[in-house]
Structure 1
């Protein structure tokens, strides 16, 4: 039986990915702060080490798929945890599991980014640089010096997308495909928390993608499973927008 690791497996997109993989016959090792085979706090370095060690132990030396879904929205406080969970909680798990993924059958991984990464001029923001430099102290300092929840969220997702692309050669050499998906708003507990926030709620409620509805977790999970499977065997190092046309509407001349 093939084995997959899914972070953020207790709710939202992660729970939907877990259900979809299990329906395909996978044994799934969930990683989350609660209700998972491996419980860990991904906002802390020790928690991320615990997550990697737990997943490696549960996998017994072989893994075939990894999906890093765990994430925090712009409304969560302290805002530094948004960046540490969304970025370090993803890349530390990916990098820590790569050697064992290389032993798997048609191994592949997907990181969940966001179309929010392109909604603000963050290309040269100190937060993005600090994250890509893997400097957690500098990332926290960047947010202490004028950051807010949206910068933490969008900046961490931008950095994660870049991290996936930067790993194309290394992961390809290891025989493991790595891609990212960038959804728009998805009907999850995370989104509902944002809707209820006094600062971000109205902006979130006003989002209306060209397809005139928001995605369900199951729809995003379906595409993630496609990206992991043999139909996508030549997809590698890509960041794919699955957002009902939202990014295309906001940036029609850039892709």
Structure 2
């Protein structure tokens, strides 16, 4: 299989690239640096160039796509959080659908977050285009609001594509990690606004996740045993969501 992975240079993306490479697949890594294809995917021109390079490297045929690139709530500009985690992710997803349609049992996985459950779509300012006002009102915690909104939006966008992508023969799902020991989590712990809360939080299983554990789920969702899994979100968070929302189904 030929599989493209964004955010391949660190964290969950790097662990996924390593796991899939070890399984014998051909990986096309995409990141800001230290990858086969480099560039800022929020820049439309650079994103288009990245798509062209993926198509060229894959011969126009992708069997898998994993979108891991993202940033945490500590990023100073909340609008950039939405741009990276949601808009550029979905733009790249759609742009690579034609290559996926030509693949063998093709599938795509988008990395969301358990934070996607923290805000309902009908209360999400991304849904109404009122992000700027909403984030301004959130003050010092605009980044946390933007992160949850961006991850909720990307999850909804995936679910909204389930019918179209299913008809195209391409499976599409999301995984929603909780706290995972990655550079992104470390950056949050180093932030004076969020660090203490992140450091003091413990999941019901008593630890953070490991990148390789998330990678294993992603690899499964790309593989042949997940052939009837489509349009779903898989929470992998050590029980965090169950603890916060015990009656949610």
When normalised by structure 1's length, the TM-score is 0.92
Q: Structure 1 pair 142/25, CA: closer, same or farther in 2 (3 Å)?
A: farther
Q: What value does the CA root-mean-square deviation take over the aligned residues?
A: 1.5
2:103 — aligned with what?
104
Look up the SS of the partner of 1:22 in the other structure.
helix
Query: Does residue 234 of structure 1 match 2:228?
Result: yes
Query: Does residue 199 of structure 1 match 2:193?
Result: yes
1:221 — aligned with what?
215
Q: Structure 1 pair 129/24, CA: closer, same or farther in 2 (3 Å)?
A: farther
Cα offset, 1:44, TM superposition: 2.5
Q: Which string of whole-angstrom CA distances, capped at 9 and with x for unpartnered residues, describes residues 209-228 of structure 1?
A: 11111100000000110011
Q: Which string of whole-angstrom CA distances, capped at 9 and with x for unpartnered residues, describes residues 116-142 of structure 1?
A: 122246642322433xxxxxxx65x34
1:16 — aligned with what?
15
1:146 — aligned with what?
137
User: Distance between the aligned counterparts of 2:125 and 2:193, measured in 1?
Assistant: 23
2:85 — aligned with what?
86
When normalised by structure 2's length, the TM-score is 0.94
1:64 — aligned with what?
63
* Number of residue pairs matched by the alignment: 246
Q: Structure 1 pair 62/121, CA: closer, same or farther in 2 (3 Å)?
A: closer
Matched-pair contact (CA < 8 Å) for 2:120–2:152: no
Cα offset, 1:202, TM superposition: 1.0
